Amino acid sequence: MIIYWIWLSHLKYVCPVLQKKLLDHFRTSKAVYDATEEELLIIPRISKKAIQSIQSSRSLKEAEALLKSTRKAGVDMLTFEDKLYPHFASKCKESPILLFYKETSSHWKPPSESSVREDVLPMEKEQQKK
Residue 124 has a pLDDT of 45
Long-range CB contacts for residues 119-124, cutoff 8 Å, separation at least 24: 119/86, 119/87, 119/88, 120/87, 120/88, 121/88
Residue 100 has a pLDDT of 94
Give the Cα separation of 23 and 18 in Å (integer).
Answer: 9
Residue 121 has a pLDDT of 45
Residue 110 has a pLDDT of 61
pTM, full prediction? 0.78
Comparing CA positions, the residue from 112, 1, 2, 4 lying closest to residue 58 is 4
Residue 119 has a pLDDT of 44
Domains of the chain, first to last = 2-117 (3.40.50.450)
pLDDT along the chain (130 residues), means of 10: 96 97 96 97 96 96 96 94 92 95 68 48 47
Strands 75-79 and 98-102: antiparallel
